[in-house]
Amino acid sequence: MSMSHQAPTAGRFSALMLLAVELLGCATSAPRAVLDSAGVAPICSPAEGRGGLVVYSATYPQTGGQSEYPAHTRYTILTTDGQVMEHVANNSGSFGAFPSTVELPCGHYDVRAQYGSGRFVVVPVAIRAGKLLILDLTREPLDLRVGATHEPIRLPNGQVVGWWATSG
């Protein structure tokens, strides 16, 4: 009996490439972002409440019938001492084209995600009770409906890799 060899479909190939990028990204150190504002300090302790986090990470084209709706890459939420809290698949909505909203206890965290150029960055964040923190690493301007102001997320060399704002 002969075994037929099937070439990987475009969907399998894309999934394998994303996995390879994710694994390679873990093996290299990502620069730690610098936030321009003191607005990253939490106003509460973890026992006092929960807040939300939405990360518009870099996007990639989906395959098949959903290809016109790019999906956001997954990201990782870490404690400030580097322990993994959660791996976020980062897709929601009918076609998986919207980023996920994650609920977290108040406190400081690090978010490791891909930004617009496909490289990884670590962004220090503070979750506040009843507030939604939005990180947009796609380099497109944040929608002003999320808050009256938004601040840049910069690499240590000053390059802007995204924006952050709070809502709620």
pLDDT at 164 (0 to 100): 85
Using H for helix, E for strand and C for coil, what is the string for 38-66? HHHCCCCCHHHCEEEEEEECCEECCCHHH
The closest alpha carbon to 14, from 56, 66, 54, 57, belongs to 66
pTM beyond 0.85, yes or no: no
Question: Mean pLDDT over residues 99-105, rounded?
Answer: 93
pLDDT tens digits along 115-139: 977 799 999 999 988 889 999 898 6
In contact, 110 and 125? CB cutoff 8 Å:
yes
Question: Mean pLDDT over residues 70-88, rounded?
Answer: 92
pLDDT tens digits along 22-51: 444 444 478 888 776 544 566 677 678 899
Pairing of strands 132-136, 50-56: parallel
Percent of the chain with pLDDT over 70: 63
Domain boundaries, the chain: 29-167
